[in-house]
Amino acid sequence: MKIHKLLVMLLIGLPALLPEKAEAQTVNNDKQLSNATLQEVIDYALNNRPGVKQSQIDEEIGERDIKSALSGWFPQINGTANYNNNLKQQVNALTTNGETNYITFGTKHTSALTLQADQQFLNAGLIQASKASKYYRQQYKQSTENTKINTIVDVSKAYFDILTSGEQLNIINENIARLEKQLKDASAQYEQGLVDKTDFQRAQISLSNSKADKKRTEELLKYKYAYLKEIIGYSTEKEFSLNLKSDSMEQGILLDTNAQQAYQNRVEYRLLQTQKQLQHLNTSYNKWSYLPSISGFVNYSYNYLNNNFGNLYDKTFPSSVFGLKLSVPIFQGTKRIQEIRKSELQEKRIDLDLLNTKNRINTQYEQAMATYKANLNDWKTARSNVDISRQVYNTIKLQYDEGIKTYLDLMTSETDLRTAQLNYLNSLYSLLSSKLDVQQALGTITVN
C-alpha cells in the first residue's frame, strides 16, 4: 500500500503553516537606584511599574487582535483527508427493454485528500475591521499614555512626601539639639540654686516629646519608602536611596494661573473621542451588512476507490473545482434595522459622555487651580512666619540668657519656631501636590 506524495508533503509542510511559538518576553532589569533624582525614579517607574507593563501588554494583545481580524483578507487554505467504509453500498434499478437489472454503485472503500483555498473579495465584516484597526491602535496607545501620566503624578507626590519627611527629621534633630542644650543649662542652674526645678522638668518634657516625634517620623518614613518602591515596581531586596535636596522642592513651584483649559489635551477626553469614532464605524458596518459578500474558492482532490482495502491507495482519481460564491442578504427579520438603531443610540450616549467629561474636567481644573492658589498663599505666609519665628526665638534666647525672660517664654518661642518650620514644609508639599493636580487637569503632563 502506497501513501501518496501529497499526504507526505502536507504532513511535512504543516508545521510551517502553524504560527511560530511566541517567546516569553522577560524583562530583566537589575538597575539599582542609588542616590536617585526624581526624574530617574520616574523613568524607572515608566519602565517597571506593573500597571504600566500591563498596559503595554494590553497594547500588544490589541495588535494581535487587529492582525487576527485582518487575516480574513488572506487566502484561507485548508487540507482535509477522509476515509469511508461503505458497509452497505447503494443499489439502484436500471430497466432496459422491459428487463430490470440491479446495479451496485461505488466501491466498498473510498478515501480522499483535498486541499482547498478560499478567498474573500467583498465582506462587510472585513471592511469594518480594516477601517477600525487605526482607531483600535490609537485607543490602546491612549490607554497606555493615561496609565503613564497617572504614574508620573503618583511617583512625584510620593517622592515629595519622602523629601518633606526628611526635612521634618532635620528640623526635629535641630530642635532636639537645642533642647538638650537647654536641659543642660537648666540642670546646671538648678544645681546652683539659681532656678527651681520646674525649668529643668519642662526641658525634660519638651525633649521627650521631640524624641517621640522623631521616632514617629522615622517609622513613617520607612513606610513611605516602601510605598514608593511599590508604585515604581522596585524589588524590596535591592538597595534604594534618593537624592533628597530640599532646594529641589522650591524649584519650579510656580505656574501660569491664567492658563486656559483645552479639553483635547486630556487623554481621557481623547479616549472618548476614539470610542465615538469606533462606534460610528460600528454603525456603518451595520449598514454595510446590506451589501452582498463575494468569495472564491479552488480545490484539488485525490480520490481513491477500491473494493479491497489493501489496494485502496494503488490508484488515484484526481479532481479539481474552481468557483465563486455570491451571498445576498435579503431578509433577516428586523435584526439589521434594530442593530443600526442601537448603534446610533450608543453614539448619542457617547456624545453625552463627552459632554459630561467636559464638565468634569472643567470642575477638576477649577478645583485644582483654587487649591493651588490657596496653597501658594499658605506657603508664602508660612515662609514669612518661619523668618519671624526665628527672629523672635533668637531675641528671647538672648533675653533669657540675660535673665530678662522666663524659661516658659523661651519654650513658647521655641515651640512657635518648630511649628512654623513644620507648617512651612507641609504647605510646600501641599503646594507641589496641587501643582501636579493643576498640570494633570490641564493635560500638560506628557510622556515620551
Q: How confident is the model at residue 7, as a pLDDT?
A: 38
Cell output for 406: 522666663
Angle between helices 38-48 and 124-191 (to 10 degrees): 140
Answer yes or no: are the C-beta atoms of 232 and 41 closer than 8 Å: yes
Question: What are the backbone dihedrals phi and psi of residue 72, each rounded to the nearest 5 degrees, phi first?
Answer: -65, -20
Contact 291, 366 (CB under 8 A): no
Residue 39: beta bridge partners? none
Set of cell numbers at residue 313: 491507495
Secondary structure (3-state) at 26: coil
Among 430, 324, 413, 315, residue whose Cα is nearest residue 371: 430
All structural domains of the chain? 5-16+39-74+123-292+330-442 (1.20.1600.10), 86-121+294-327 (no CATH)
Inter-CA distances, 438 with 261, 358, 363, Å:
10, 16, 11
Give which of 432, 403, 316 is closest to 5, Cα–Cα.
316
CA–chain centroid gap for 277, Å, is 22
CB 2 within 8 A of CB 123: no
Nearest alpha carbon to residue 81 among 303, 311, 315: 303
pLDDT at residue 447, rounded to an integer:
85
Local structure of residue 298 (DSSP, 8 states):
E
Q: CA end-to-end span of the chain, whole Å?
A: 66
pLDDT recorded at residue 30: 61
Going along 315-448, which residue ranges are E strands?
A: 317-327
Cβ 232 vs Cβ 44: under 8 Å:
yes
Q: Would residue 193 be called left, alpha or beta, if left means φ above 0 and alpha means ψ between -120 and 50 degrees?
A: left
Per-residue confidence in pLDDT tens, the chain, 448 aa: 444 443 334 334 444 444 444 343 444 456 788 888 899 999 999 999 999 999 999 999 999 999 999 999 999 999 999 999 988 888 888 888 778 888 888 889 999 999 999 999 999 889 999 999 999 999 999 999 999 999 999 999 999 999 999 999 999 999 999 888 888 877 877 677 666 778 778 888 888 999 999 999 999 999 999 999 999 999 888 889 888 776 667 777 888 888 888 899 999 999 999 999 999 999 988 888 888 999 999 999 999 999 999 899 999 999 999 999 999 988 888 888 998 999 999 999 999 999 999 999 999 999 999 999 999 999 999 999 999 999 999 999 899 888 788 888 888 999 999 999 999 999 999 999 999 999 999 999 988 6
Residue 139 and residue 278 in contact, taking contact as beta carbons nearer than 8 Å: yes
pTM: 0.82
